[in-house]
């Protein structure tokens, strides 16, 4: 596989653009650009790069997942509220056939009952939830490990 494809698509659903100011009790203080900087550093240490996309629109998320189909090796996704509602995002992930890791900052199993169901969980390699930004960071490592077929944390270079 070409170097060109050592990329991970990172998808952020609605309202995640407001991280840092949005309900910090649930979602913490880290902003999306801060999370993305860290993700890029982790990916880099494992020989990958990330391509990130945030949208508040379901169709835009579907279109981006489709568009990156041939350019990335896996998808790290926080579908946000669409986790609990979107058959369209589930179907897009199934359609592209890439390995998926689902992440959530808050623990969706400790909140309102409607957050416990995820349309992505059963088609994902795994779900990390409730670890704050570590859900993203550990999820990225797990996704790359899954793709590369090895286990362990990235080595410091």
**Taking CB under 6 A as the rule, does residue 80 contact ligand DQA?**
yes
Q: Is 27 one of the catalytic residues?
A: yes
Catalytic residue among 12, 82, 104, 119: 104
**Taking CB under 6 A as the rule, does residue 118 contact ligand DQA?**
no
**Taking CB under 6 A as the rule, does residue 69 contact ligand DQA?**
no
**Taking CB under 6 A as the rule, does residue 108 contact ligand DQA?**
yes
Among 7, 15, 53, 69, binds ligand DQA (CB under 6 A): 15
Sign of the CA dihedral with 42 first, then 78, 96, and 150 last: positive
Residues of span 21-50 touching ligand DQA by CB under 6 A: none
What residues have CB less than 8 Å from 126, skipping those under 6 apart?
101, 102, 139, 142
Nearest alpha carbon to residue 131 among 92, 103, 98: 103
Would you say 22 or 71 has its CB closer to ligand DQA?
Answer: 22
Q: What is the 3-state secondary structure (H, E, C) of 58-124?
A: HHHHHHHHHHCCCCCCEEEEECHHHHHCCHHHHHHHHHHCCCEEEEECCCHHHCCHHHCCCCCHHHC
Would you say 73 or 118 has its CB closer to ligand DQA?
Answer: 118
Catalytic residue among 12, 27, 82, 119: 27
Question: Catalytic site residues?
Answer: 27, 104
Q: In the complex, which residues of this chain contact ligand DQA (CB under 6 A)?
A: 15, 78, 80-81, 83, 104-106, 108, 115
């Amino acid at each position: 596989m070409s170097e060109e494809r050592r990329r991970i698509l990172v998808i952020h659903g609605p309202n995640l653009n407001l991280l840092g100011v949005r309900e910090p009790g649930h979602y913490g203080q880290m902003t999306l650009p801060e999370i993305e900087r860290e993700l890029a550093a982790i990916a880099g240490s494992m020989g990958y790069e990330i391509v990130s996309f945030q949208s508040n629109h379901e169709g835009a998320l579907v279109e981006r997942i489709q568009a990156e189909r041939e350019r990335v090796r896996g998808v790290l996704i926080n579908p946000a509220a669409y986790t609990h509602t979107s058959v369209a995002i589930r179907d897009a992930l199934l359609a592209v056939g890439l390995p998926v890791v689902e992440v959530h900052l808050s623990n969706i199993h400790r909140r309102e009952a409607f957050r416990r169901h995820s349309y992505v969980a059963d088609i994902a390699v795994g779900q990390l939830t409730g670890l704050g930004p570590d859900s993203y960071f550990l999820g990225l490592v797990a996704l790359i490990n899954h793709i590369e077929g090895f286990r362990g944390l990235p080595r410091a270079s």
